[in-house]
Structure 1
Amino acid sequence: MEIILKSKNYKKIASSLVLFLVIISIFSIIIPVSRSDKIYNARCWFDLEWSDIETQKPVVPRDEIKRFNLTVKFEIRTGESYGKGVVDAYLAVGRGNPLIELEVIDSSPWCDAVMERPTIATNFTWSTEAKTAIFITINENAPAYGEGFIKIHAYAKNLGLIEGYSNNFTLPFTPAYKPIVDAKLLNLNSKKISPNDEAVFPIELENMGNARTKVLLEVNELPEGWTATVTDYVILAEQEGSKETAYLSVIPPSGLGYHDEEISITVKMTPIMAENPEEVGNPFYANFVVESRGFSGNGIEQYIFYIIIIGVILLIILLIYKRVNKKNLEN
């Protein structure tokens, strides 16, 4: 009997609370009041938080999908006893869970951002929090160590007599340096030359990365007698598509005799950030083949003309000497 009475009392209390809320709702509609003077003055409020340590870590363009964890801190705020009474009444009758909508409304032009959960259901209580995340990717043309941002619009609808809330939050992040250099061989990467010639290979370097880049060039060790030199470095401007040309020069052995030799040469190219030499990218390589074939006089060729002239003069002198000597004998 006692249990039945308690159940009836509970139902009466719940019915009274619902009736009270209905009366308050009708009263607030009939009597217009300003936003700050509502008699119940209860509203949702929330904040969106993230780790500053995480956002300060540079995001690698193109190669990384970056996750930023977000914490939504939800509160119900009231300014007076009426508002507290409204919230207490809702808590007593088990009001539904507040829904917070998260939407990316703006971001850096070279950034794509996706919310893990665009809708978050929180518990209906005075204060609580929920977890979510946002995933971002950035293009290779994101300026290295520039300022990136994602603007998130968050809002919650009215919960009956409890006013909703909306706000914008801007999450900052930093793009990392991404060295991307494209090497093009303007001519073939192999040449046939004579032992006294020089093979020259132009190498066009194009900046496809996101910062001013210095490219260091060096050649591998060569067999004895061969000489190869390459442009020490080129500097590529920051804008995508900036180009510079380096040159590889190869001179074969030119010792006296016939030559039939072939060599493979590797040029190593290492990109580094021009303003920060500690930012070093992965090296890349280009291979070249030079074939030296033909006779070499070891430099004597330039004197052949003079040798011929001297030989002709000596021959003429010899002929004159023989003729004079013959006449002397006849006499």
Structure 2
Amino acid sequence: MRKNLRTVKTGIIFGTLLLSLFVAFIPSASAGLLTVDPLINLRYPIQEENIIPNSGVLDIPLETTFKLTGPLAGIVEGRSLLSNTDVQIELKVVQTPDWCTASIANPLAQLVLNSETPYQSTLTVTVTENAPAFTQGVVRISATSKLQRGLLFNIGQVSVEFDISFIIGYWSVVSYELPDGNYLEVGPLGIADFQIDIENIGNGPTYVGIEVVDIPEDQWSVSIASSVQLSSTVYGGEGIKETVHLKIKPPIGFGFHNEIKNFKVMFTPYYLGRPDLVGQPEPITFTVQNIGMSPGAGFEIPLIVTVVVIVVLLYYFFIMKRKK
């Protein structure tokens, strides 16, 4: 009797030990014996429009798909318990240029095995003024599948990277500074000299056309350079600033003058070599006040003759006075 009792106790202890070991190994047993890796694909359309710095965002639609690879792919897709399982693929931005910011909307793709429907996400890109015009920007995205466990098969964890490219557009920004202001007062024989400092703040080499578009009808003389060429700060900062002078000379008419005239100058920036890419034209109005007495046109010869006559008269006056 005691012997049978010992046997029962031993069996209970041994059975409990086996049950504990079985329970302990259930997770590893459910991990599957074979792993099949997915082939991840990320598609996006070619961008037909350039992205302009500091002018909104570029939204690039992404389509994520996958399929299993290897000799066991057909078995897993057709006959295993994983045939209708959901597979998660995480999208993440891993690299951008210094002048670019990028983010992904709906980054966790939920895909069903054996389904051809892609998962839709959106890559949103913004760029700053430091992005050189007409260069290619590249955002690198990683796509990582999460491990899916089955009774016999696993769908493996795989990570791949994709480069999403786009083109930077021309951002035209030019500043115009007037150290002496836009108003000067001169005499009838003087010249109003306006200094204009032109600086390119945009992201590409720029040609600035200069044209005087509003001149008074009377005989005022106006001169200024017809254009300047400027480099860009994104290329190191050399040659980004030039100085031009607007010189205005009032007409010479005999008598006292006190008149105010306005002159409008139009500055129009273009991308250098691409006159079809026009920036924002900038009109600047300059005001000149002509005030003072004018001897009139052709006064030089009469003035010289007058001076000579006065000198001769004074000479004879003093000579005759001494003789007396």
What's the counterpart of residue 137 of structure 1? 126
Alpha-carbon displacement from aligned partner over 1:58-92 (angstroms, at most 9, x marks no partner): 211111311111111122334137x6147633246
In the alignment, does 2:205 pair up with 1:207?
no
Cα 1:28–1:159, aligned 2, differ >3 Å: closer, same or farther?
closer
In the alignment, does 2:269 pair up with 1:271?
yes
Aligned residues: 290
Q: Partners in 1 of 2:101 and 2:31 — Cα distance?
A: 44
Q: Partners in 2 of 1:77 and 1:25 — Cα distance?
A: 24
Percent identical: 28
Alpha-carbon displacement from aligned partner over 1:266-293 (angstroms, at most 9, x marks no partner): 2110111113222221211222111000
Q: 2:144 aligns with which of 136, 140, 155?
A: 155
What's the counterpart of residue 234 of structure 1? 228
Assess if the C-alpha contact under 8 Å between 1:42 and 1:84 holds in 2.
Answer: no
What's the counterpart of residue 249 of structure 2? 251
Q: Amino acid of the residue matched to residue 169 of structure 1? A: F
Assess if the C-alpha contact under 8 Å between 1:207 and 1:236 holds in 2.
Answer: yes
> What secondary structure is seen at the aligned counterpart in 1 of 2:248?
strand
> What secondary structure is seen at the aligned counterpart in 1 of 2:309?
helix
Assess if the C-alpha contact under 8 Å between 1:111 and 1:136 holds in 2.
Answer: yes
How much has 1:152 moved relative to structure 2?
0.3
Normalised by the length of structure 1, the TM-score is 0.78
- Pairs within 5 Å for 1:110-149: 110-125=99-114, 127-149=116-138
- 5+ residue gaps, structure 1, are 1-21, 30-38
Q: Partners in 2 of 1:261 and 1:58 — Cα distance?
A: 51
Cα 1:302–1:157, aligned 2, differ >3 Å: closer, same or farther?
farther
Assess if the C-alpha contact under 8 Å between 2:90 and 2:144 holds in 1.
Answer: yes
> What secondary structure is seen at the aligned counterpart in 2 of 1:90?
coil
What's the counterpart of residue 58 of structure 2? 66
How much has 1:189 moved relative to structure 2?
1.3
How much has 1:207 moved relative to structure 2?
1.0
Q: Partners in 2 of 1:304 and 1:273 — Cα distance?
A: 53
Assess if the C-alpha contact under 8 Å between 2:215 and 2:264 holds in 1.
Answer: no
How much has 1:234 moved relative to structure 2?
0.9
Q: Amino acid of the residue matched to residue 54 of structure 2? A: R
Assess if the C-alpha contact under 8 Å between 1:78 and 1:84 holds in 2.
Answer: no
Alpha-carbon displacement from aligned partner over 1:144-191 (angstroms, at most 9, x marks no partner): 111210000111111101112210000111101111111111212111
Cα 1:179–1:236, aligned 2, differ >3 Å: closer, same or farther?
same
Assess if the C-alpha contact under 8 Å between 2:77 and 2:113 holds in 1.
Answer: no
Q: Partners in 1 of 2:168 and 2:50 — Cα distance?
A: 5
- 5+ residue gaps, structure 2, are 1-24
Q: Amino acid of the residue matched to residue 313 of structure 1? A: V
Normalised by the length of structure 2, the TM-score is 0.80
How much has 1:49 moved relative to structure 2?
0.4
Cα 1:212–1:139, aligned 2, differ >3 Å: closer, same or farther?
same
